Amino acid sequence: MAILETHDLTKVYPTADGPFKAVDQLNLSVNQGEIFGYLGPNGAGKTTTIRMLLDLIRPTEGRASLLGMDAQADSLAIKRRIGFLPAELALWKSQKSIEVVKYVGRIRGGVDMHYVYELAERLQFDLQKRVKAYSTGNKRKLGLILAMMNKPDLLMLDEPTSGLDPLMQQTFNQMMLEVKNEGRTVFLSSHMLSEVQAICERVGVLRSGRLVAVERVDALTHASFKWVKVRFDQIHNIGVSLQRVPGVSDVSTDEDGRVSLRLTGDFDPLLRAMSDHYVVDLDVEDPSLEEIFLAYYDNQVAAPSATDTHAMKELA
């Protein structure tokens, strides 16, 4: 069952240089009971998408539905059943966090304080301090508590682990897996690919407002290219000839004569090209999720813009 769907969802902003499409013809479906990763560097359109889904801004074109309801017409009913953590959390700085929790809980019709204290304990969070006294990471913890404390059917989390230390990231991962095991759904935007690889079943890759791929994480991690390192018994000038092999690219040779290359497709042409040389060692590695992600960008557009190139460098 689809818990979240978009149909040609588009957001266009007027600028001095003409219309800017922050999100362009987005068609996406997220199933009930899954953790879905929404990937892209800063400026790709992730936050704009989430704000449209929550009816915080209106789309220029297209439509969306959450929990089987229209994102605009049923906005209030939807908000009763979701938990939301924005990328930038704005709270009452002079209030203690326990007061913020109780106030938000009353707005939502009540909250189980025993569960709130359980969340705070797991996140190692002090509920008695004032919001202005918290670090960035602790503010994210408070945001997570506010999003999760009513056990919503759908969690919408925008860069949820930003500012969390590695130990807390592991705790967060475990909490999300528990949400999934309860049959609830998580929609998680991130540029931290290790986080997505650890907990998400499927990922959508967003580039300059356009969805360029939706894949299972295990399919992404078994991508169609591999890194190959070969050490020969003698130093040969074989790197030049290997560059002409179908599917081979990014060939380099270190000072010890070890040849490194990227291979797309079958191994047979490469093995035939090396058949006249004695191979001492052969190492094959799958690409990292970061490399796979960047490969999707490279494959979708031949000449990225300066903004895209900068964003990809930040991601790498």
In a domain, 110, yes or no: yes
In a domain, 242, yes or no: yes
Three-state SS across 219-237?
HHCCCCEEEEEEEECCCCC
The number of domains in the chain is 2
DSSP characters over 2-49: EEEEEEEEEEEEEETTEEEEEEEEEEEEEETT-EEEEE--TTSSHHHH
In a domain, 297, yes or no: no
pLDDT value at position 285?
87
In a domain, 128, yes or no: yes
In a domain, 244, yes or no: yes
> pLDDT band for position 175 (50/70/90)?
very high
In a domain, 113, yes or no: yes
- Domain containing 96 equals 82-151
pLDDT value at position 216?
86
pLDDT, averaged across the chain: 87
CATH of the domain at 266: 3.30.70.920
Distance CA(40)–CA(209), nearest Å, equals: 9
In a domain, 230, yes or no: yes
> Residue 304 above 60 pLDDT?
no
Query: pLDDT tens, 87-127?
Result: 888 889 999 999 999 999 999 889 999 999 999 999 999 99
Region 50-71 average pLDDT: 96
Query: pLDDT tens, 231-282?
Result: 888 766 787 788 889 999 989 888 777 899 999 888 999 999 998 888 989 9
pLDDT higher at 309 or 181: 181
- The pTM for the full model equals 0.77
